[in-house]
Amino acid sequence: MKKITKVLLILATFSLVSINNLIAAEKWDMPLAYAAGNFHSMNADEFAKNVSKKSGGKLTIVTHAGGSLYKGGEIFRAVRTGQAQIGERFMSALGNEDALYEIDSIPFLATSFDDAMKLYKASKKSIVKSLDSKGLVFLYAVPWPAQGLYSKKEIKSTNDLKGLKFRAYNPATVRIAELTGMTPTKIEVAEVSQAFSTGTVESMITSPTTGKDTKIWENGVKYFYDIAAWYPKNMVIVNKAAWKKLDSATQKLVLAEAAIAEQKGWAIAKSGDAADKKTLASNGMVVGAVNAPVKALFQKVGKTLTEEWSKKAGATGKSVIAAYKK
């Protein structure tokens, strides 16, 4: 009888431990807007795998690249509402949520990686605070290489921009189109190739990496003008309710791996800037600079957008700009 009781106690204890472990284990789905081969997606996938491996089964993060779980424009809402526990989103596309998220897409405000990092440091605290008010936890942000102007047509003068069908992806790019005389159409990255091949758009401002990933030269795009307009970022965010379910040790692990992913992502973006432009050129595209009048127009647009953004962003935005310009 004693043996039976002992066996029952052992089984009960084992069952209780198993149930507790089951309850403690969390599975997070992580939607990504970009293709699996894109460096942002690869970096996020490595982050997810490292967390899953090092957490000892407490947290498993499964990535879903290429908009397969949620499209780019759906990710922020999905994470905020808890439909997805974690996700990556192009930050400046969220300008309608808070103008502060557009700060890294103001033309000619930060025109080098060093300036982009300085701007990030000046704005990060305010961005984290804004996300917190929306029920989100900020993990890390990684930039794209410098944004350049793609076009099917050669841009010889400012008149060549008039009426050009332009791919927009956030409020800032819509405004750029308006101020330069181009015609904006909002297109997510997954639809870029189709948009160019069907003639829906003829031009866009984005990184050499996006051009490489989409093989944009296969869709009649012949020119890439290296205007280094800005260095936008993708950011990884977590639903706050999901975050609070993690124990302290797992939270610390996630933050540590996020810091590693951020550092690595910035290094990849910097090295990829030159390499990806070479890829465009090797596939027959003309890679070069715009002439002085066109550059002056974009700089004028940048000044206008900075002023407009400062008004939208209010006191917080002005303080961030002031901190950046110190």
Residue by residue, DSSP assigns 92-109 as: GGGTTT-GGGGGGGSTTT
Tens digit of each residue's pLDDT (9 = 90 or more) over 59-98: 999 999 999 999 999 999 999 999 999 999 999 999 999 9
The DSSP output letter for 146 is P
Tens digit of each residue's pLDDT (9 = 90 or more) over 197-247: 999 999 999 999 999 999 999 999 999 999 988 999 999 999 999 999 999
- Residue 18: the pLDDT is 45
- Give CA–CA dist 221/192, Å, rounded: 11
Contact 232, 148 (CB under 8 A): no
- Residue 5: the pLDDT is 54
Contact 110, 116 (CB under 8 A): yes
Between CA 112 and CA 44, with CA 280 as vertex, the angle to 5 degrees is: 60
Tokens 């990829």 locate to: 272
- Residue 23: the pLDDT is 47
- Residue 20: the pLDDT is 47
- Residue 6: the pLDDT is 55
Q: What domains are there in the chain, each with its CATH number?
A: 2-93+110-143+233-273 (3.40.190.170), 148-230+277-324 (3.40.190.170)
Can you list the positions of beta strands (E) in the chain?
26-31, 59-64, 86-90, 136-143, 148-151, 165-168, 183-186, 203-206, 223-225, 233-239, 286-288
Average pLDDT, the chain: 92
Give yes or no for residue 22 having a pLDDT over 90.
no
Contact 239, 85 (CB under 8 A): yes
- Residue 107: the pLDDT is 87
Which of 90, 75, 80 is closest to 130 using CA atoms? 80
**β-sheet bridge partners, residue 183:** 165
Contacts of 252 (CB under 8 A, 6+ apart): none
